[in-house]
With several copies, the nearest count.
Chain A
């Protein structure tokens, strides 16, 4: 099970702030593509991914038990 955290416009598009996804062993880019297909998220090309609170590369693998956060372009400060 993958715990997915949503923020900003993604949270509003999903109508919730977290998802539980029953996939594993996917690469980050595959995982994003799967979410885009399933939830119709917009602007996902600009969204970064963090695995367990660390920014991840497109070819990093996502394992069961990971917390995956989708990080839209940040605008703090």
Chain B
């Protein structure tokens, strides 16, 4: 596999590239998730977003998610690219592509990936509204981590 499966980029993401990374003669199903910048959130209008990443660690954490998926759903191939920098409404922030021989795994693994991104990948979103700006905190409404770090699964968990 030549191309990088897990990337943080500062330019527009090409969906076709991600599809190519996961294509396989034994895949019967490819799912993609495309996360875009939404204009309205609970009655507030977003003008643009700014994403920041701790890039080397973010790439590592994306790869960790890939390993978790490989162990939970064997025979899947996962590719994830997250964009950072200034994003306008409708711009694509993240694409997750998963291929699998069977569709159920392709859906489940894909949804697992986006949930995990929101838990463990060091990327931050600054929301610029019409009337101000904020760095968004944890959107999962998690309780604080008891031991000071999130749970990173390893194969022993499975």
Is chain B in direct contact with chain A in the complex (CB below 8 A)?
yes
Chain A residues close to B by CB (< 8 Å): 5, 7-9, 11-12, 28-29, 43, 45-46, 48-50, 53, 55-58, 69, 71-77
User: How distant is the Cα of A55 from the Cα of B122 in the complex, in angstroms?
Assistant: 10
Scoring B120, B122, B137 by chain A CB atoms within 10 A of each residue's CB, the highest score goes to B122
> In the bound complex, do residue B52 and residue A8 qualify as a contact, i.e. CB atoms below 8 Å apart?
yes
Scoring A5, A43, A56, A72 by chain B CB atoms within 10 A of each residue's CB, the highest score goes to A72
Q: Which of A53, A58, A76 contacts B82 (CB 8 A)?
A: A76
Q: Which of A12, A28, A50, A57 contacts B122 (CB 8 A)?
A: A50
Number of B residues near A (Cβ < 8 Å) is 36
Secondary structure call for the B interface: mixed
Q: Which of B118, B126, B150 contacts A77 (CB 8 A)?
A: B118
Q: Name 5 extra pairs, CB < 8 A, besides A49-B149, A75-B136.
A: A8-B124, A48-B150, A73-B138, A74-B123, A77-B121
For A28, list chain B residues within 8 Å (CB): 148
5 A-B pairs with CB atoms under 8 Å apart are: A48-B149, A58-B147, A76-B51, A76-B118, A77-B117
- Chain B residue, CB-CB nearest to A69: B54
For B24, list chain A residues within 8 Å (CB): none
Secondary structure call for the A interface: mixed
- Asked if B35 is an interface residue, CB under 8 A from chain A, the answer is yes
> In the bound complex, do residue B123 and residue A58 qualify as a contact, i.e. CB atoms below 8 Å apart?
no
- Asked if B89 is an interface residue, CB under 8 A from chain A, the answer is no
